[in-house]
Structure 1
Amino acid sequence: MSEHLYTPPSTTLLISEISGYPPLTGLFESVQHQPYAMLLDTAGSDKRFGRFNIMVWEPDITVITRNNITTISRPGSDDSVEANGKPLAVLDTVQRHYFSALQTVSDVPQEILEQLPFQTGTVGLAGYDLGRSYETLPSKARNDYLCPDLAAGLYSQSLIEDNETGKLYYCRLDDKPSQPDFITREDKLAKAGSFSLTGAWQSNLTEPEYISALETINDYLLAGDCYQVNMAQRFTATFNGSEWDAYKTLRTANKAPFSAFIRLDNTAILSISPERFLSVKDGCVETKPIKGTRPRFADKDKDRASAEDLLSAEKDRAENLMIVDLLRNDLSKHCQPGSVKVPALFALESYEAVHHMVSTVTGKLNTGASPLDLLAGAFPGGSITGAPKIRAMEIIDELEPDRRNVYCGSIFYVGHRQDMDSSILIRTLLAENGRLHCWAGGGIVADSVAGDEYQETLDKVSKILPVLETKREPQ
């Protein structure tokens, strides 16, 4: 591997507060069209993990995996190599070498520096099908996507917005200018165009086909193949214009704390996910699986009754507990013995479209293990596969007509201090080739009612498909 790919332009990290600029979404609009511009966005959520927004652009290095081939490159140059090894292990190696020797210089108070997430490091997308690099799985489902299985950038600069204080921080290696070039002149604050749908949403499964798939899953459950299988359908519509404009519409309607926008070479990812996958800070690990959903209602009494119905539902509690046990096992692969705990079980979290049942699992990372080791050991997330995980993934490939690609994967960051946060890519859209894909699914267990499960998939996209339908061109 070329040593040039391991060598950062500087080992001095400068962090400063900057002022007099628009909110971060306004600044990101100036670079949203650039490949590997990425925004991690709390979207105005009032959840406890909704404090910081992060944007990165112009990566020093990219790490891309397609069809089990991982390539490390420097954008804008011919410096590129194929790497041996598992994709996240390759990324971990590059990250550790590139950011291992940073020294921070800042006049920002120390308590703020300790709270600021990421600063510099890796931000990326791991699609659901990255799991094929780790497990032998069938390949029955169609795969006609442009989006890679892993697309990550190593960034030596970032802008971080503190939603609590309204302050904006610029983190950079000292070879970068004192302020990002696109905000030093007002005329560089570019504006994106508008978005419109050009066709109606179409599912890759009719309602009878979806219910037939659930009947097949039920046969597998009764035969003892598995305890739970997550089954999804994919909705697709054609579109014109700016994916960023579509994302802004969705973020306003949903206010999901793990929202994100990622621009790649030939595709864009628009995520309004409410679900954390894995976080690591100072070696402390947390995951928050969602399993159990009910719709929201404008009528307060109906809304409260819907939440109470969820919290008292034995089926949903059993389903949630199965995934908690699976994640406890996944975390134990890289956490200290005896450190994995469940401090919160069957808690209620309410979002714009739905109520969710959410549990919390914590642990302490093993000495010598990295956050990316943890991510690889638990990938893809158990809350969106089923249990046992591998058998559930085999059944998913058998019954879903198309591969999931980004859906049920993860968007993540790993900072130079080995802090990490990541999402589960539910409520997520993939835009490429003039088509917009959006998925919805649910966990199927032995006492699932097929009609209810089908309706739950529609509830989950009730603040996505109809919202974008309002921007559909007249026929």
Structure 2
Amino acid sequence: MLQTQVPKLAIYPLAIPSTVKLSTLFSAFSSQAWSVLLDSANSQHMDARFDIMVANPVATIINKQQQNTVWQKDHVSYQTNDNPLHLIQTLQQAYFNLIPTTDEQYAELPFLIGAVGYFGYDLSHCFENLPKQKITDYQAPDMAVGIYTWSVIKDRVNGLFYLCAADHYPHPEPLFFEQLVKNEGSKPSFKLTGDWQANMTSEFYKDQLQQVDEYLRAGDCYQINFAQRFNAHYEGDEWHAYLALTEANNAPFSAFIRLPECCILSISPERFLAVKNGHVETKPIKGTRPRSADPVIDQQSIDQLLSADKDRAENLMIVDLLRNDLSKHCKPHTVKVPKLFEIESFAAVHHLVSTVTGELANDSSIYALFQGAFPGGSITGAPKIRAMQIINKLEPNERNIYCGSIGYFGFREDMDTSICIRTLLCENGNIYCWAGGGIVLDSVPGDEYQESLDKVAKILPILASLE
């Protein structure tokens, strides 16, 4: 039987120096299936305040090609075709009959306990009428979410660590984490055993963009996101690869997820949806320029991006799409665009970023909001469904985790999720990485192809250099 009493949620400050990274503690869990690190990767970005780690879930939900498999600790597993987000919500309610904490001291902490995992791009087949999925190339499921009864959170503003736990479930003691700092293990190894290979040549990429252009001129869409995939063979520990990538990229929405059949390494710069105290925020990225070590050239890239009519038009199209997605689940007249066309700079590129906000409607939920906006418009195009149909036709392989989302649904009805760009899938000795961009009528195929390479300039060479 699941717990039915009103349990206690406990928050324990940990005696860990502020100079320690949460990834140091997570290293002890990095080889365990269903361990997850939501990591700001030491970024100085405005959205990089908290790091979160979880492990040892009491329940898991896997979705593959619209079939869910639910596992519950000490309970019978089962399969169902129900809406996977409804399953997450139901399990949350069953396991966490909790009264949200009212302690103002911890009011700003995110998540605490709840559901954490990933939602692959192809999970959209559960929500929308889309063409039949291709024969999958991957073992990785379309969705993998665990229900977690404890977490460790680092607040990077004050340097404090917290163990958050539903005390009626087993969880590690504070001393366990405090001692981990003294017991750093040896550094694992990782290396590629072959060169990176793309799933299309530059000529094929440009030919596909010509077909995209024909759809745009026919009026099917205003914008279509098109991507290519890179893959290589590897051996060793994916955790080492992740540490190298985060050190080089410092992306605010980085994440590491270990599953029995695969591993996800994400160094995403993009927020999908966040909800806290009913306040909704999404931050679409559209518009990219490469970084330069020369400060003058680097500033010229920023100036060019700010003044580029094409990139501003792309960004505005997605802002309008997301305003529409949010308006269906937000209170009337609350959807706003407080920031339009702002520059955010990362290790490899500058991005043009806008911010859309709203207030969640009383008759909606974080799950309905997520489903209504998934997958994010910045990585599909507009109108979304038609763009996705065209993507399915023109891209040779399924996207799987790429352009999906990673994040949490907390028991307090809070949520934060990323867009899975700059994200890699590791399984069966193969590592996959994707890159692409939004295509509009005045896109230049050669420039678009180069932009896709710029986006992985701090990923593919970094991993190729590891020994």
The match for 2:116 is 123
C-alpha distance 337-31 of structure 1, shift in aligned 2 (>3 A): same
Matches of 2:230 and 2:248, distance apart in 1: 19
Q: Which runs of 5+ in 1 are unaligned?
A: none
The match for 1:312 is 307
3-state SS in 1 of match to 2:339: strand
| TM-score, length-scaled by structure 1 | 0.94
Matches of 2:304 and 2:45, distance apart in 1: 22
Matches of 2:14 and 2:29, distance apart in 1: 18
8 Å contact kept, 1:83–1:90: no
3-state SS in 2 of match to 1:145: coil
Matches of 2:128 and 2:175, distance apart in 1: 42
8 Å contact kept, 2:5–2:97: no
The correspondence for 2:330, drawn from 324, 327, 335, is 335
The match for 1:149 is 142
**More displaced 10-residue stretch of structure 1: 373-382 or 84-93:** 84-93
3-state SS in 1 of match to 2:117: strand
**Which amino acid counterpart does residue 32 of structure 2 have in structure 1?**
Q
**Offset at residue 132 of structure 1 (A):** 0.6
Pairing 1:16-35 to 2, within 5 Å after superposition: 16-20=12-16, 22-35=20-33
**More displaced 10-residue stretch of structure 1: 14-23 or 216-225:** 14-23
Pairing 1:248-287 to 2, within 5 Å after superposition: 248-287=243-282
The correspondence for 2:414, drawn from 413, 416, 419, is 419
Matches of 2:57 and 2:185, distance apart in 1: 20
The match for 1:170 is 163
Query: Are 1:456 and 2:454 counterparts?
Result: no
User: Aligned residue pairs: how many?
Assistant: 463
Matches of 2:81 and 2:398, distance apart in 1: 25
**Offset at residue 97 of structure 1 (A):** 3.0
For each residue in 1:42-84, what CA deviation from the matched residue of structure 2 results, as whole angstroms up to 9, or x when unmatched? 0011111111100000001111111111122124x46212234
**Offset at residue 397 of structure 1 (A):** 0.8
Pairing 1:71-470 to 2, within 5 Å after superposition: 71-75=69-73, 77=74, 79-102=76-99, 104=101, 110-139=103-132, 141-175=134-168, 176-179=171-174, 181=176, 184=179, 190-191=185-186, 193-470=188-465
8 Å contact kept, 1:12–1:104: no
**Which amino acid counterpart does residue 283 of structure 2 have in structure 1?**
K
8 Å contact kept, 1:192–1:244: no
For each residue in 1:208-244, what CA deviation from the matched residue of structure 2 results, as whole angstroms up to 9, or x when unmatched? 0100000000000001111110000000000000100
The match for 1:58 is 56
8 Å contact kept, 2:335–2:356: yes
The match for 2:39 is 41
**More displaced 10-residue stretch of structure 1: 165-174 or 397-406:** 165-174
Q: Report percent identity of matched pairs.
A: 54
3-state SS in 2 of match to 1:132: helix
**More displaced 10-residue stretch of structure 1: 181-190 or 9-18:** 181-190
**Which amino acid counterpart does residue 321 of structure 1 have in structure 2?**
L
C-alpha distance 167-182 of structure 1, shift in aligned 2 (>3 A): closer
The match for 1:12 is 8
8 Å contact kept, 1:262–1:270: yes
Matches of 2:3 and 2:193, distance apart in 1: 46
**Offset at residue 98 of structure 1 (A):** 2.1
**More displaced 10-residue stretch of structure 1: 43-52 or 77-86:** 77-86
For each residue in 1:325-347, what CA deviation from the matched residue of structure 2 results, as whole angstroms up to 9, or x when unmatched? 11011111211111111111111
| TM-score, length-scaled by structure 2 | 0.95
Matches of 1:186 and 1:118, distance apart in 2: 23
Matches of 2:82 and 2:251, distance apart in 1: 35
C-alpha distance 9-185 of structure 1, shift in aligned 2 (>3 A): farther
**Which amino acid counterpart does residue 80 of structure 1 have in structure 2?**
S
**Offset at residue 415 of structure 1 (A):** 1.2
C-alpha distance 366-320 of structure 1, shift in aligned 2 (>3 A): same
**Which amino acid counterpart does residue 83 of structure 1 have in structure 2?**
T
C-alpha distance 230-18 of structure 1, shift in aligned 2 (>3 A): same
C-alpha distance 101-314 of structure 1, shift in aligned 2 (>3 A): same
8 Å contact kept, 2:6–2:98: no
8 Å contact kept, 1:126–1:410: yes
8 Å contact kept, 2:4–2:97: no
8 Å contact kept, 1:29–1:191: no
C-alpha distance 315-238 of structure 1, shift in aligned 2 (>3 A): same
8 Å contact kept, 2:16–2:181: no
C-alpha distance 163-450 of structure 1, shift in aligned 2 (>3 A): same
Matches of 1:145 and 1:180, distance apart in 2: 40
**Offset at residue 95 of structure 1 (A):** 1.4
**Offset at residue 179 of structure 1 (A):** 2.4
**Offset at residue 94 of structure 1 (A):** 1.6
**Which amino acid counterpart does residue 139 of structure 2 have in structure 1?**
L
Matches of 1:140 and 1:23, distance apart in 2: 40
C-alpha distance 121-216 of structure 1, shift in aligned 2 (>3 A): same
C-alpha distance 185-423 of structure 1, shift in aligned 2 (>3 A): closer
Matches of 1:157 and 1:143, distance apart in 2: 34
**Which amino acid counterpart does residue 111 of structure 2 have in structure 1?**
F
8 Å contact kept, 1:141–1:398: no
Q: Which runs of 5+ in 2 are unaligned?
A: none
**Offset at residue 189 of structure 1 (A):** 5.5
**Offset at residue 100 of structure 1 (A):** 3.4
Matches of 2:329 and 2:186, distance apart in 1: 44
**Offset at residue 318 of structure 1 (A):** 0.5
3-state SS in 1 of match to 2:280: strand
8 Å contact kept, 2:225–2:437: yes
3-state SS in 2 of match to 1:463: coil
**Offset at residue 93 of structure 1 (A):** 1.9
**Which amino acid counterpart does residue 87 of structure 2 have in structure 1?**
V
**Which amino acid counterpart does residue 124 of structure 1 have in structure 2?**
G
3-state SS in 1 of match to 2:233: strand
